[in-house]
A and B are shown apart, each in its own frame.
Chain A
Amino acid sequence: MKLKKNGFRLINRTMPESETKILPLEQMILDLRKRSDEDWGRYAFYRDPLYGKFNPNEIKDYTNNAIQCGRKVFKDISEKNNYEDIDHLAKELKFNVIQQYMPNDGNRVIFAQYKEPDNITIYMDTIAKYNNLVKNSTSLVEKLLGDIDIYKILVSHELFHGIEFMQKQSIYTQTEKIELFKKPFSNKSKIFCLGEIAAMEFSKQLCGLNFSPYILDTILMYAYDKEAATLLYEDIMEL
């Protein structure tokens, strides 16, 4: 059942979780690859703590601006640095990349994290699970996605957040604000998901992908919990 509020769809499932039919990963990848940048923008906003504050047109505009921001940062970095070796690039930009081997599970799967000012942690368990998924199955996952470097995608995404922190006075994702309530009680807030959208675009450009890295949310979740991945896929497709 879908409800409408502020002109866009909201999810209201009543079906018990046990009735979820697990879908093949290949089918999900094929569908998710077809999602446009605007679709992924809606997904990012859907997960934003300030979600209720935006209408569909605003979401569309903010998404486009954030994507442009991600591309601009990539252009600046790629002009000055060699970005083939992501560890080298991180070192050049003075970031510490830590590989952590903490196990994940299906309720919340953490892929990577950035801690201000210069620490990036990559959860290697996620990468190992992805490798097993590709290696052990007779599926077409690798063919559908190409020979992607998950580690590079994750590091580059978090690198963007580091760059964002360094340029917080001037970068779009940090300076763009929304007014939460009007004067005389004015409270302006930045929009959290703009950084995520821009970081995904930066990672997409840097890794030469022809799909949004957001697709990894479903694929990596699938490596842990097929049912949760299917639910996530359904959420994304319904937005």
Chain B
Amino acid sequence: MEYLIGVLILLTFICLAIYAARGGNLMMGMLIMALLWTFLSMIGYKFATNTQFIEANKEIINTTWIQAFAKVFQGGPEGWGTVLVNVVFGAWFGRVLLQTGIASTLIRKTTELGGDKPAITCVLLCAVTTVIFSSLFGAGAVVAIGVIVLPIFMALGIPKVLSVCSFMLSIGAGMFINPVLFGQYTAFFLDKNGKAIYTYETYIKWGAIALAVQLGFTMLLVVFSMRKGSVHAWAADRPVRQKRDYAPGISLLTPFIPVVLLIFFKIPIIFGFLTAGFFALFVCGKLKNFREACRVFNKDFFDGVVDTAPLVGFLLMVPMFNKAAELCIPYFNALLGGIVPNNTLIITIIFIVLAPLGLFRGPFTLFGCGAATLGILKGIGFSTLFLAPLMIASTTIMNVSCCITQSWVVWGIGYAKISTKDFMKMSVISGWIICAVIQIITYVMFG
């Protein structure tokens, strides 16, 4: 019986992979998977006959239907709810950076620093983009920054594919220490009570190293690719409705504040966002009186929440799926326990060689069917300390930075008028190399 259920669970996993790769709605996909895996595993437990299997999984087999529903559909999203608020405050902070003109000022000042040397200016802009996206998150933010950065890249004569690719990789590099994205990852690493077991403090050292690797590679990519010659285009852009004046110099410290406060002073991230956000509003003259302060605070919060709304739905389904995966662990062990290697080195090598499986919402990305892969690997007994960076690397690099199923990547490709084939040729190879380096580091640190 356990083998039959195990096979059915794997079949649904393959169906999810195909569904995700074809661009199916992942929010619905996760909900359906949570339902299927809950029902399949519970049916399997009720009809289990193998005494060895029953003996080994005594506790979980005695789970009642109500307990299973409570664990999956109530406990899952509720547990992650505490993290969700980080996402909301991060989105508000992102809006503040955009509305005050701090993000655009940073970019323009950087351009004025580098001048007509395309490689130097591009490298500097990549670094600034990474800094901005170490605290900013969301497709709206990427578009808002992209419409400033990409035309500058193109005006500098940087080829379009390289422009988009380096921009996306720079965003991805920043995402490695982005507390908002990290908050989403914690949804995959919760304890029985739904509390996060993988903290930002545990993660940040590895996250900073991963950022340095990805940004360093992006810079090298720009320097070497620029040897092939510049490209100049005659194009018209849809005008951007934003200020062209500069934010005050001191306000340019704002993007660093929340992360610095968190890393060096252990100040909680929401307080960090609030401190940095109000500092930015104050120095940019947006808090002239109490009434104005209320209006600005309200509007930026509203816009920020709207920015993240589609993502929140998906992320509330993910913990359900994770909890359902926990119910399936005995089946994974029965079916795959002898097949999937229980060795960190071999798993690392598999994640390096098969890194492109993180594309198209495949089994190596947590924003696809990687949640199930994680469930299988957890079931086999790998530690969270090792699994978390392994999966986060694959997800942040292959999915968030390189994949055409990522909303902002699609926007970038469309904006620059490049073919997806040309983009993928550069992004996948780049992502693969970065993934390999970071996975080796993961093995050395936690393997």
Taking Cβ atoms with an 8 Å cutoff, the residues of A that contact B are: 3, 5, 10-15, 17, 46-53, 102, 104-117, 123, 154, 157-158, 161, 178, 180-181, 187-190, 192, 195-196, 199, 217-218, 220-221, 225, 228, 231-232, 234-235
Contacts and interface: CB of A to CB of B under 8 A. Distances in A.
Contact of A17 (B113, B117, B241): B241
A15 B244 CA distance: 16
A190 B159 CA distance: 19
Contacts of A154: 234
A52 B110 CA distance: 12
A239 B315 CA distance: 45
Instruction: Indicate the member of B108, B151, B241, B246 with the most A CB atoms within 10 Å.
Output: B241
**List of 10 A-B pairs having minimum Cβ-Cβ separation, nearest first:** A189-B115, A116-B229, A228-B238, A217-B236, A189-B116, A113-B233, A110-B235, A190-B116, A10-B244, A231-B239
Given A113-B234, A114-B232, A232-B238, A180 B243 contact: no
Interface string B207-251: 000000000000000000000011111111111011111100000
A5 B156 CA distance: 25
A76 B231 CA distance: 25
A158 B121 CA distance: 24
Contacts of B231: 113-116
Contacts of A217: 236
A12 B99 CA distance: 11
Contact of A108 (B116, B121, B237, B242): B237
A52 B246 contact: yes
A108 B244 contact: no
9 contacts: A12-B245, A46-B244, A49-B156, A50-B112, A115-B230, A115-B231, A178-B115, A189-B115, A234-B239
A157 B234 CA distance: 8
A181 B112 CA distance: 9
A95 to B, nearest CB: 13
B288 interface: no
A193 B232 CA distance: 11
A52 B414 contact: no
A46 B108 CA distance: 13
A48, A50, A158, A234, most chain B CB atoms within 10 A: A50
Given A50-B111, A180-B113, A109 B235 contact: yes
A5 B230 CA distance: 32
A105 B410 CA distance: 14
Contacts of A47: 151, 155
B18 interface: no
B400 to A, nearest CB: 22
A232 B236 contact: yes
B239 A218 contact: no
A5 B245 contact: yes
B238 A107 contact: yes
Contacts of B245: 3, 5, 10, 12
Contacts of B417: 102, 104, 108, 110, 123
A13 B117 CA distance: 32
Contact of A113 (B117, B232, B239, B415): B232
Nearest to A112: B234
Contacts of B152: 49
Contacts of B252: none
Nearest to B231: A115
Nearest to A191: B116
Contacts of B419: 102
B40 interface: no
Interface residues of B, number: 37
Given A50-B111, A52-B246, A158 B238 contact: no
B416 interface: yes
B42 to A, nearest CB: 49
Contacts of B414: 105, 107
Contacts of B241: 13-15, 17, 231
Contacts of B114: 189
Given A12-B243, A49-B152, A50-B115, A195 B415 contact: no
A51 B245 CA distance: 11
Contact of A107 (B108, B234, B237): B237
A108 B236 contact: yes
Interface in B66-125: 108, 111-117, 121
Interface string B115-153: 111000100000000000000000000000000000110
B415 A218 contact: no
A137 B364 CA distance: 53
Given A3-B245, A10-B244, A49-B156, A192 B116 contact: yes
Contacts of B230: 115-116
B112 A52 contact: yes
Interface string B261-286: 00000000000000000000000000
A123 B418 CA distance: 12
Contact of A188 (B115, B159, B242): B115
Given A107-B415, A180-B112, A189-B115, 15 more contacts: A10-B244, A49-B111, A102-B417, A105-B414, A107-B237, A107-B414, A108-B151, A110-B233, A110-B235, A111-B234, A111-B236, A116-B157, A187-B115, A190-B116, A232-B236
Contact of B239 (A105, A181, A187, A235): A235
A192 B155 contact: yes
Contacts of A117: 229
B112 A221 contact: no
Nearest to A232: B239
A17 B240 CA distance: 10
A101 to B, nearest CB: 12
Nearest to B152: A49
Interface in B394-411: none
